[in-house]
Amino acid sequence: MQTDRSVADVARLLADPARVAILWALADGRPRPAGELARQTGIGASTASEHLARLLAGGFVAVERRGRHRFYSVSGAHVVALLESLGALAMPAAHATSRVSRVAPALRHARRCYDHLAGTLGVAVTDALVARGALALADEQFVIPDGGEPFWRASLGIDLDAVRAS
């Protein structure tokens, strides 16, 4: 993202619920065309294109051409981290009157974010794995502690050697 703009500029860009819904829809890291994003967020195709142009100009999304199609994705994990931080401060809406307003609660509950499970479900799964001794936090990163490997191998059938090799 650009470093010469103010927090107010960023806040103005995120002040529209449709733009935030588009970013949440892209939070899993999978590129999508504008039409799919329009359908997913319940807005018109031209409206989605307008919002995507603003998000692109603001550095929040990137675009990749594939033939005659354009696929949009968030420009990096920092965008998702910003959304998650703002989401933690946001109060749930008293009532949902549009598809756009119904997207955020579902995404707060569970979603895939790049390489990890996120949302309240992701936190609950992580907490359960830590409680079982299958994960531990070391230097701000989760690791499999001594004695944690049998859980992954026997209980979940995960070949840790193959995972580490990949």
End position of a domain, from candidates 93, 109, 125: 109
Contact between 19 and 25 under an 8 Å Cβ cutoff? The reply is no
Range of weakest confidence among 51-65, 107-121, 146-160: 107-121
Query: What's the maximum distance between 2 C-alpha atoms anywhere in the chain?
Result: 55
The token pair at 142 is 């989760």
For residue 100, pLDDT over 60 is answered with no
Contact between 119 and 80 under an 8 Å Cβ cutoff? The reply is no
65 part of a folded domain: yes
2 part of a folded domain: no
Find tokens 């790049």 and name the residue: 114
Residues 87 and 144 in one domain: no
Residues 44 and 93 in one domain: yes
d(CA 123, CA 128): 9
**What's the rounded mean pLDDT across residues 108-121?**
68
Domains held by the chain: number? 2
How many percent of the chain have pLDDT more than 70?
A: 82
Residues 128 and 66 in one domain: no
For residue 165, pLDDT over 80 is answered with yes
Q: What is the CATH number of the domain that holds 71?
A: 1.10.10.10
Residues 125 and 98 in one domain: no
1 part of a folded domain: no
For residue 35, pLDDT over 70 is answered with yes
SS3 of the chain: the string is CCCCCCHHHHHHHCCCHHHHHHHHHHCCCCCEEHHHHHHHHCCCHHHHHHHHHHHHHCCCEEEEEECCEEEEEECCHHHHHHHHHHHHHCCCCCCCCCHHHHHHHHHHHCEEECCEEEHHHHHHHHHHHHHCCCCEEECCEEECCCCCHHHHHHHCCCCHHHHHHC
Confidence at 61, pLDDT banded by 50, 70, 90: very high
54 part of a folded domain: yes
Residues 101 and 75 in one domain: yes
Is pTM beyond 0.75 here?
A: no
Residue 12's identity, in one-letter code, is R
Task: For residue 34, give its domain range.
Answer: 7-109
d(CA 134, CA 148): 4
**What's the rounded mean pLDDT across residues 80-92?**
77
126 part of a folded domain: yes
What does DSSP say about strands 141-143 and 136-138: parallel, antiparallel, or unpaired?
antiparallel
Residues 100 and 126 in one domain: no
Residues 149 and 92 in one domain: no
Per-residue pLDDT reduced to its tens digit, 43-53: 999 999 999 99
